[in-house]
């Protein structure tokens, strides 16, 4: 167990778990060592967790003078740990009552904080017991004053994971902190890394990744990547089933020379929320909400496979949102022959919700009969890209579907189902020629 010496000579211990960018974690509750965090639901697979045992807990020494457990002295401990680790700035995570400690540190050292994650941060102001003798273990409430001070100087982003009304000993809604921070409120459990480890890890990973932005669409948090200058003409890239927005990194970087490119993770995929309710109706609505949520009037829309069919449905039902439409190997809106069998259950973690696979396959086997008729309502210029005989998609059905879209053109590039991956140069050339 590694240790370091605080400014007043107290020896403090911490635990290291995992690999990656360090995340300093402060435990909540009186006299509670950091061991209860475990791996934070598997977050250690993506970040190096630095689990600090606060004074008098776990492997850390208990000072002779209990007054050294006050908040201000413990913020010095965080600063000493930062120096010990050789970090210029830190990602800081705090649970429950340690939300006070984290925000006080942020107020005192705003330039040392890269991000602040607060999990169920204590009681509502005024609900807790008052401090006794200024000792931290008796500071039960969440004090808003450090938060206001931090807000005035803190440039780093803040994520608040709130406790549910019935799930935690001191429930707090994110709205209580909204006026205090440029916050993103997620989760609704007191120990989210235990109750919903996957959701917890996705939310924190997305928050800590500087290349990921987030947008709330009808209560579902959608993570997305963006490339290019914000004022350039917008292009939205919709990924296929089981992929996520990172799938478009190569294409997005190339298009970004002249475009502002957005690549969201659909719900149930990647770092977005996994709501458990899936289908092409939801996918279409997520695309619509995403475009409108970004404040865009209309976009060039490029969709692959599942994302291609969702893009077609959006262009048919909300034509004002789509200027140009490119769909790569979309599943035609006709019943699959033979039907797609239920896929085998895979062991281990996968970057998508398995329930999503089941729901999407069921709709592809028995699609809404109204879908094919709606394609006649598409007003955007449409290019359909086929993968040729190497693809599992029925190319004759793809041609039949193309004929239902007014003025659409079918271009067979070959390369199989994922043309943008197998033949990126030909794919990008086709987009450029089409005006995307």
Residues 138 and 229 in one domain: no
pLDDT at res. 63? 76
Domain C-terminal end among 210, 226, 250 = 210
Residues 124 and 224 in one domain: no
Residues 16 and 102 in one domain: yes
Q: How many domains does the structure of the chain reveal?
A: 2
Residue keyed to tokens 């709205």: 175
Q: Is the pLDDT of residue 150 over 70?
A: no
More confident residue, 172 or 119: 119
| Percent of the chain scoring above 70 in pLDDT | 82
| Percent of the chain scoring above 90 in pLDDT | 65
pLDDT at res. 333? 94
Residues 34 and 121 in one domain: yes
Residues 222 and 176 in one domain: no
The CA angle 367-371-377, to the nearest 5 degrees, is 170
Domain C-terminal end among 185, 210, 235 = 210
pLDDT at res. 178? 43
**In angstroms, rounded to a whole number, what is the distance separating the alpha carbons of residues 51 and 121?**
17
**In angstroms, rounded to a whole number, what is the distance separating the alpha carbons of residues 394 and 389?**
9
Please state whether beta strands 260-264 and 234-238 pair in parallel, antiparallel, or not at all (unpaired): parallel
Query: Where does the pLDDT of residue 179 fall: very low under 50, low under 70, confident under 90, or very high at 90 and above?
Result: very low
- Residues spanned by the domain of 271: 215-434
Most confident of 7-16, 179-188, 194-203: 7-16
205: tokens are: 């990973």
Using one digit for the tens of pLDDT, what is the confidence trace for 197-238?
Answer: 888 899 899 999 999 999 999 988 899 999 999 999 999 999
Q: Which of 47-61, 67-81, 95-109, 304-318 has the weakest average pLDDT?
A: 67-81
More confident residue, 427 or 165: 427
Residues 261 and 407 in one domain: yes
Residues 173 and 304 in one domain: no
Whether the CB-CB separation of 267 and 218 falls below 8 Å is answered with no
Q: Is the pLDDT of residue 134 over 50?
A: no
Q: Is the pLDDT of residue 136 over 60?
A: no
Domain C-terminal end among 183, 210, 237 = 210
Mean pLDDT of 266-277: 94
Residues 201 and 286 in one domain: no
Q: What is the CATH number of the domain that holds 353?
A: 3.40.50.1820
The strand pairing partners of 115, in sequence order, are 91
Q: Is the pLDDT of residue 146 over 80?
A: no
Q: Which of 93-97, 122-126, 429-433 has the weakest average pLDDT?
A: 122-126
Residues 284 and 425 in one domain: yes
Residues 71 and 159 in one domain: yes
pTM of the model: 0.86
Using one digit for the tens of pLDDT, what is the confidence trace for 375-428?
Answer: 999 999 999 999 999 999 999 999 999 999 999 999 999 999 999 999 999 999
**In angstroms, rounded to a whole number, what is the distance separating the alpha carbons of residues 316 and 370?**
11
pLDDT at res. 340? 84
**In angstroms, rounded to a whole number, what is the distance separating the alpha carbons of residues 38 and 193?**
9
Q: Is the pLDDT of residue 163 over 70?
A: no
pLDDT at res. 388? 97
3-state secondary structure the chain: CCEEECCCCCEEEEEEECCCEEEEEECCCCCCCHHHHCCHHHHHHCEEEEEECCCCCCCCCCCCCHHHHCHHHHHHHHHHHHHHHCCCCEEEEEECCHHHHHHHHHHHCHHHEEEEEEECCCECCCCCCCCCCCCHHHCCECCHHHHHHHHHHCCCCEEEEECCCCCCCCCCCHHHCCCCCCEEEEEECCCHHHHCHHHHHHHHHHHHCCCCEEEEECCEEEEEEEECCCCCCEEEEECCCCCCHHHHHHHHHHHCCCCEEEEECCCCECCCCCCCCCCHHHHHHHHHHHHHHCCCCCEEEEEECHHHHHHHHHHHHCHHHEEEEEEECCCCCCCCCCCCCCCCCCCCCCCECHHHHHHHHHHHHCCCCHHHHHHHHCCCEEEEEECHHHCCCCHHHHHHHHCCCCCCEEEECCCCCCHHHHCHHHHHHHHHHHCC
Residues 349 and 419 in one domain: yes
Residue keyed to tokens 């509502």: 124
Using one digit for the tens of pLDDT, what is the confidence trace for 353-363?
Answer: 999 999 999 99
Residues 168 and 233 in one domain: no
**In angstroms, rounded to a whole number, what is the distance separating the alpha carbons of residues 328 and 318?**
20
Q: Chain-wide mean pLDDT for the chain?
A: 85
């Amino acid at each position: 167990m590694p240790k370091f010496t605080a400014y007043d000579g107290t020896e403090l211990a911490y635990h290291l778990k995992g690999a990656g960018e360090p995340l300093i974690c402060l435990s909540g509750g009186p006299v509670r060592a950091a061991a209860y965090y475990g791996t934070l639901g598997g977050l250690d697979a993506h970040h190096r967790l630095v689990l600090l045992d606060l004074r008098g807990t776990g492997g850390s020494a208990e000072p002779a003078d209990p007054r050294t457990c006050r908040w201000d002295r413990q913020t010095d401990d965080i600063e000493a740990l930062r120096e010990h680790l050789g970090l210029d700035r830190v990602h800081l995570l705090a649970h429950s009552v340690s939300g006070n400690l984290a925000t006080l540190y942020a107020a005192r050292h705003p330039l040392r904080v890269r991000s602040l994650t607060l999990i169920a941060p204590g009681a509502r102001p005024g609900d807790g017991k008052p401090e006794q003798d200024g000792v931290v273990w008796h500071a039960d409430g969440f004090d808003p004053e450090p938060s206001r001070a931090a807000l005035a100087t803190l440039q780093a982003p803040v994520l608040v994971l709130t406790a549910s009304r019935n799930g935690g000993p001191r429930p707090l809604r994110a709205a209580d902190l909204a006026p205090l921070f440029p916050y993103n409120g997620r989760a609704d459990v007191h120990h989210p890394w235990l109750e919903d480890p996957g959701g917890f890890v996705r939310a924190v990973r997305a928050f800590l990744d500087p290349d990921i932005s987030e947008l709330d669409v009808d209560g579902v948090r959608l993570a997305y990547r963006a490339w290019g200058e914000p004022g350039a003409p917008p292009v939205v890239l919709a990924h296929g089933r089981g992929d996520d927005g990172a799938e478009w990194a190569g294409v997005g970087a190339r298009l970004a020379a002249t475009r502002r490119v957005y690549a969201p993770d659909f719900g149930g995929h990647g770092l977005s929320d996994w709501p458990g309710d899936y289908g092409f109706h939801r996918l279409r609505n997520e695309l619509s909400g995403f475009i409108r949520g970004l404040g865009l009037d209309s976009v060039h829309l490029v969709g692959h496979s599942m994302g291609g069919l969702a893009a077609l449905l959006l262009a048919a039902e909300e034509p004002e949102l789509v200027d140009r439409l490119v769909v790569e190997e979309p599943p035609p809106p006709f019943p699959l022959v033979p039907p797609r069998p239920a896929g085998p259950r895979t062991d281990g973690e996968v970057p998508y919700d398995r329930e999503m696979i089941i729901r999407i396959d069921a709709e592809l086997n028995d699609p809404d009969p109204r879908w094919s008729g709606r394609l006649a309502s598409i007003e955007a210029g449409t290019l359909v890209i086929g993968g040729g005989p190497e693809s599992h998609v029925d190319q004759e059905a793809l041609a039949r579907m193309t004929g239902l879209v007014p003025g659409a053109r079918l271009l067979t590039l070959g390369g199989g189902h994922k043309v943008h991956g197998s033949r990126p140069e030909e794919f990008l050339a086709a987009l450029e020629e089409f005006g995307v």
